[in-house]
């Protein structure tokens, strides 16, 4: 199997984590949804990530539908333990936060052409998106009062991804609410769900970094070759079910920023 993703999409990250938690063996392919990537369009006419290419050639799309397929195909370990309605409800609220955050990024690009230009945030639609994030996080924290941190489940996965993504896209936001239970949930899984680069993603980031640096200095070749050797030595090979999922956005921040900037120069935007 192969999972088509981009480097920062929270939707792709949710699908990736769920597949890893289920123990599926799959490869990763980084694509640019904003550049009409041929492989992505073939898998998903909507040009959205994630897209999961099954071994029989069929393609599954949308993160929660991929999670549903994974749960059906491999019930153990389950992503819906205990009160399934409660877990599903939590996942739904958290997905609302993700949607609001991503839509804010899209709004920024449409209105100003830049992910970092916050003018859209103060428009009426932008303020509604911010309110959705704030009230969504507050609701998540309330719901976690009745749920255990263990075992990991779909609701907690989406909630942690939402938390990390919003921190990643809105660093130091003064409007972010206090969410002690969600912070504790994220911390509880931090050691277990550590960050490891996959081979495809790691190498492509190094290619991007090397290409950029090599245009002005020989350091690009050094970074590229040294990084490749490091990846091989550290066994950051093919992603397998034994690999721990990545919740830590900072581990991808540098690579994603370089890769994202490179992609923006080619396709004007890099949202997700």
Q: Which of 188, 223, 240 is the last residue of a domain?
A: 188
Tokens standing for 53?
A: 């290419």
Q: Which pLDDT belongs to residue 32?
A: 93
* Per-residue model confidence (pLDDT) at position 148: 87
Residue 154 is predicted with a pLDDT of 97
- Residues counted in the chain: 272
Which of 188, 215, 249 marks a domain boundary?
Answer: 188
pLDDT at 191 (0 to 100): 66
What three-state secondary structure class fits 62?
coil
Contact 154, 18 (CB under 8 A): yes
What is the domain count for the chain?
3
End-to-end, the C-alpha distance of the chain in Å comes to 23
Beta bridge partners of 27: 2
Which strands make up the sheet holding 59-61, listed edge to edge? 27-30, 2-5, 51-53, 59-61
> Both 92 and 170 in a single domain?
yes
Q: Is residue 62 part of a domain?
A: yes
Residue 32 belongs to a domain with what CATH number? 3.40.30.10
Contact 1, 52 (CB under 8 A): yes
Peptide linkage before 221 cis (omega within 30 of 0): no
Tell me the residue range of the domain where 145 lies. Answer: 84-188
Domain boundary among 31, 49, 73: 73
pLDDT value, residue 243 = 39
Q: What is the pLDDT of residue 195?
A: 40
Residues 117 and 148 in one domain: yes
What residue ranges of the chain have pLDDT lower than 70? 191-272
Does residue 62 share a domain with residue 20?
yes
One domain for residues 107 and 67:
no
Q: Are residues 49 and 93 in the same domain?
A: no
Q: Is residue 78 part of a domain?
A: no
For residues 175 and 153, state if they share a domain.
Answer: yes
Task: Report the pLDDT value the prediction gives residue 222, as an integer from 0 to 100.
Answer: 53
92 and 164: one domain? yes
pLDDT value of position 203: 43
């Amino acid at each position: 199997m192969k999972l088509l993703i981009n480097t920062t999409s929270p939707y792709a990250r949710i699908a990736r984590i769920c597949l890893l938690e289920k123990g599926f063996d799959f490869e990763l392919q980084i694509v640019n949804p904003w550049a009409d990537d041929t492989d992505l369009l073939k898998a998903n006419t909507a040009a959205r990530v994630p897209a999961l290419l099954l071994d029989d050639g069929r393609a599954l799309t949308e993160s929660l539908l991929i999670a549903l397929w994974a749960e059906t195909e491999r019930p153990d370990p389950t992503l819906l333990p205990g009160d399934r309605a409660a877990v599903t409800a939590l996942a739904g609220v958290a997905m609302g936060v993700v949607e609001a955050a991503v839509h804010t990024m899209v709004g920024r690009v449409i209105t100003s052409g830049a992910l970092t230009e916050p003018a859209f945030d103060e428009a009426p639609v932008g303020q509604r998106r911010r309110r959705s994030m704030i009230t969504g996080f507050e609701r998540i924290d309330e719901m976690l009062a009745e749920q255990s941190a263990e075992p990991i489940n779909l609701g907690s996965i989406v909630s942690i991804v939402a938390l990390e993504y919003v921190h990643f896209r809105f660093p130091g936001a003064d409007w972010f609410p206090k969410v002690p239970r969600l912070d504790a949930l994220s911390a509880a899984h931090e050691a277990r769900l550590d960050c490891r680069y996959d081979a495809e993603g790691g190498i492509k980031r190094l290619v991007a970094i090397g290409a950029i640096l090599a245009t002005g200095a020989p350091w690009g070749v050094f970074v590229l070759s040294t990084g490749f050797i490091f990846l091989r030595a550290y066994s950051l090979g093919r992603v397998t079910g034994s690999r721990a999922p990545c919740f830590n956005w900072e581990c991808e921040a540098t690579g994603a920023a370089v890769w994202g900037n490179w992609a923006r120069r080619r396709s004007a935007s890099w949202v997700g």
